[in-house]
Every structure is written in structure tokens, then in C-alpha cells.
Copies of this chain bind each other. A is one copy, B any other.
């Protein structure tokens, strides 16, 4: 299934009408600044995401300072970024009929992402998922996610029309945690390939790689056209001691791999070999929430709109730099303008 020239382009009249369809957890971020000591007291590991039940979410929330709420969710942030660049994009995820669900729906639609969620079953009171984000002084974010109705994401939430119209179907690794979501992902992959779309996966988090290494490797070897991971994740996935060994390992699979390294930039592993792309400059890093998500947004928009993999990674860097310069995981500035300023579009 791998191709070094994604996205697979439909022939003749069937040009895809969507650049990207993204599947992920629909979450509202609940953000507060926090001290390192608070993370320790709450048994949270800085820089990681942990799934928590309602009770644990409540006790973490109670220990947080005043919060602001803003739509989040990894793949949803990516979808919002693609739309901000002018891309045609849809999001698939599950929200409840509550205040957080309405806010999530408003926020993603208003930036131009198609979002037509399957209504939650009557009587489901688990609520729209939310992610408690503790931002420390070093701009690092530590996350505790209560999935709520997002934990029921399943095949019923797939939108055949969107999946059949996509150039790239982008899957969030976090979804591999739930059996019904995993079944939906498998089905989405089949629908994508039947419709000539490329399939991309972000492995999302080191803990996802730990939990699902064998399945992720099977996907890389047999199903995916594109893979997104950071340095720690790709080394864990291939069980290597060094980043360079991981680059070699992923190059052997033939997948187009986009590997981010924070301030050290990124490496794109394409058929022609690995290319190092520097990070875009940032005046002051305020909150790294959404950095990887927006990098993926820039890359996906670029690759589906005529840019080379290297140029696409440069666009990813520009988008990531914007989102880490302020609180929150979605762009505030005009990404299209920033891309033009970086010489990527005229």
C-alpha cells in the first residue's frame, strides 16, 4: 500500500473534494498555568498525556487554578490548521449535546472545517470529552484527558461521503486506545484506500507507541502512506537507541515519514532520502500545546496542495511556531499570511 508519492491522486473527473479528513477525539481543552510541584502532587508526568476517569479528572481540576476553555483535540487542531491555511478539510469525532459539545462544534465549523457529528445516543450523560492542560513556566504542557462520549467513537461515526472525497485520511494514534475507535480506524483505512486516498497516522504520544507498537508497525508496513512522530516516539516504535537508526528503520518501510524534534526542527524521510528542515523562529515560546498538531496541519496542507515534502515540512514549522507563541492549541494568526511571508506561497 505504501507509496512515496502521496497523496494518491484520483484519475480524471474524480479529483478529491477534500484535502484532508481527520479522525480523532473531540475535546475541549481546559487550560491553567501550574507549578512543577503541582504536577508532582497530582502524579502527573510533565509533557505527557494521560487518560483519566471522571473522578480523577475532578480531583485534578480541583487542584488547578482558574482556567480558560478552548477547543482542542489533536487531530481536530490539525483540521483547524489545515482550514486556516485555506485547505478543504473535514473532521470526524464524537461530541455530546452539552455546552462543551456546542462550543467544540461552533469553533471547528467557524474556521471552515466540515463537521457533521453523529448525534450521541439519548440518555448518554457522560458529556463531551475534555483535556485538562497544565502549562508550566517552561511552556511545557502536561495533559489529563477525560474522554467522555469520545470514548464511544466507533464505526457509526464514520462519514462515508467525507472519506470517499479525501486526498488524505489522517488518523490520531490516541484513538487506538479504545476498541470501538480502533475498529472505526480499520474501517476508515479500508474506505480510504477503496476511494484512492492516502492514509496518514500520527502516533500521538509515547504511551500510545508503548501500548500499540505491534499494530502501529503493521500499519506502517502494510497500510500507511504517511507517518507522523516525534523523536522519542519514532525511536520507541522501532526500538532503536538513536534517532539516526530510527530514521534508517522508517526509511526501509517506504512510508513518507515526518519526524519532529522540537527546537531542533524536523526530518522528512522521503524516497529520495532524509531531509533535515530547521524549526521556524519564535520570539517567545509560551505554550507548546498543539505544536505537533499544527506541524501536521502545515505538512498535510502542503503535500495536498502541490508542495514538495521538504516545503511541506517548512510550512509545518511555520504553523507550529505560530501556535507555540500563545496560549492554546489552535492558530490565532493568519497562517496563510505567515506561509506567504515564508515564501511558500505567493
Contact = CB atoms under 8 A, between A and B. Distances in A.
A29 to B, nearest CB: 9
B69 A68 contact: yes
A14 interface: no
A111 B328 contact: no
Interface stretch (A97-105, A238-246, A294-302): A97-105
A330 B110 contact: no
A110 B64 CA distance: 7
Nearest to A71: B66
A66 B107 contact: yes
A70 interface: yes
Integer count of this chain's copies in the complex: 2
B99 A66 contact: no
Interface in A71-99: 71, 80, 98-99
Interface string A314-345: 00000000000000101010000000000000
B330 A66 contact: yes
A127 B65 CA distance: 24
A67 interface: yes
Nearest to A32: B110
Interface residues of A, number: 26
Nearest to A127: B99
Contacts of A111: 65-66
A69 B100 CA distance: 10
A103 B65 contact: no
A61 interface: yes
A70 B68 contact: yes
Nearest to A102: B61
Contacts of A65: 110-111
A172 B75 CA distance: 43
B106 A80 contact: no
Nearest to A67: B107
Contacts of A70: 66-69
B68 A106 contact: no
Contacts of A108: 66
Contact of A106 (B61, B98, B110): B61
Contact of A99 (B62, B98, B107): B98
A33 B80 CA distance: 16
Nearest to A328: B68
A66 B323 CA distance: 15
Contacts of A99: 98-100, 127
Given A62-B106, A66-B107, 16 more contacts: A30-B103, A65-B110, A65-B111, A66-B106, A66-B108, A66-B111, A66-B330, A67-B103, A67-B106, A67-B107, A68-B69, A68-B70, A69-B70, A69-B103, A98-B98, A99-B127
